[in-house]
Structure 1
Amino acid sequence: MADRRPCKVCNFTRQKSYGLVVPSLEELKVKGSEFLGFTPHNPVTVVLEDDGTIVEDEAYFWCLPLNTKFMLLHEKETWSPLRRVDGGTAWMARDSVILESDVVDAQSAQSTSPWLDLALQLKQDLASIILMCEEDLQCLVDVPCPELASALGFQEKKAENFQETLQRVLDRREEERQSKELLQLFVKTVAKEDGQSQEETRRPSEGGADVPDGMELDQASGFNSRTLMVLKGKTSPETRLSTEDLQAVVAKGAEAMQQVLGWDKVRTTTLLQYCESELKRRLQQIQAVQSLRGNMPQGDRSQPSNENHDEESKATSPHSGK
């Protein structure tokens, strides 16, 4: 093995890692590209995975320690440091075994990057964005643009436009909530002037000051603490919940939700009406997007154009007519 060196190679996102034994730097490029699934004959750049140093000299390659980890980059890819949000211990599980052709479990990489699951959903079906809650959308907005582009298979400019569209959707939802709050305040003021009771003017979305602790209700209600917090204390909760949460609320019915929330029948029924209306609106948007996709030529479905992307982004807007 004197003329062959054990090493490791990974791709830009570090989701794939292989152990190799190669006799030269050139063989590292060829064999590494084959294992990583790169297009044959496309030029690649070899850099050190830990600091991004470019490795071009054969003599320098042989001076490096055994089992050095390299990263192979395409023309438009650049090295970026590993984001370790787990205290820097993820590498211990990932690098503990060095075997030729051994693929590192992608779940360890996804555990440090929660947005990857969302990106994979979008890559399989872009219409799934309609089902995401605001927390998921904000997560995708906060991802560094080059990383999101690589995960979605987009050009970096297209990924940037995609993030800007998501941010506009979030801004519009916030504007809609603020407008609704002002309207509710106006209605409440008029009602007081007309001598109506405060109970008659309260809306389900005006969370009261005394919100009961929902921790004891979690197991019995089937909702997590975040969902209960949104239902009880947030303005326009139906716009903040995911589609799955909306379905759960509607499925429980008025009587069960009345016990979960501790509200009166009128207030609970009104909340359910809002949730049913929001759920119906989202399902109509999904049907509209799927109908548009069904009318697209077969060749356009695997990689949606910017125009089709804009249409699908409009479908997520709360001001959409669909």
Structure 2
Amino acid sequence: MTDRKPCKVCNFTRQKSYGLVVPSLDELKIKGCEFLGFAPSDRVSVVLEDDGTIVEDQAYFLCLPSNTKFMLLQGKESWSPGRRIDGGTAWMARESVLLEPDAVDSSSAVAPWWDLAQQLKQDMASIILMSEGDLQTLVDAPGLELAAALGFQEKKAQDLQETLQRVLDRREEERQSKELLQLYLKAVEKEDRQQEEPSEPSEGGAGDMDMLDGMEVDSASGFMPRTLMVLKGKTNPETRLSTEDLQMVVTKGVEAMEQVLGWDRTRTSVLLETCEAELNRRLQQVQAVQSIRSNTQPDSSQQSSEKSAEEGEETPAQGGN
């Protein structure tokens, strides 16, 4: 009689895992289906959990070491790497195993968004722990393939991507508002400093700031790489740019931006119009804040007039005496 081999089985999400002792590959399939809750009539395939190698041969099964972990796959389920702990590069050295010829393209099993989709499928609440980079990866994922990975209809997957994009836009708007407030506070601080020390030259500070900006921008285009990526984004790029970047875009003009972005004149003109409108909106906000600040400060000319009026009232009284 064939020796019984201790081994482990799991489903394709790796959420369920059981230890078995079986004498053959066929027995592994039977007991594995029973433990994992598969129907006896389900067609299953066996692969190695660590690298996705298909196991179909009894002799190969017997050559494997004890406690080997197998993955049982149903229908169009396909093997994918476990959660990455190597910075995300291990999947590049592996090939996904497709168990059905009409399954989704193999690139979807190893695409950067695949693990995120599986994570959402297991627990939708995990979305609140994802970084902005993870959210952007899901937004950029192919809608039809993302729907298949999540088990959603295509329309529901599109709605999810639109919601994630709105979350990203709102975070960017909050960041821009904070940046605008910081710029205003810096301007107020600089103004107060100049009033206290009017003879102190201010060119040095501006030069230092220009030098700092110059260290961060790309010498060929004048923009930071992230700025170019945002400009070429598909949804409201103007709301995700800093005020300085918006000013640069508007200043460069249509022809220069055509060369930077590689777009046609019409598309570039539309982008510049939206950037200019956003810039004007932000400048109006700054002016409104400055107006509020000026109205809260006492007017020196008004104080002089009030003081003169008081002195004028005292003079006749003295003459009468």
Same fold (TM over 0.5): no
Larger Rg: 2
What TM-score, normalized by structure 2, do the two folds share?
Answer: 0.40
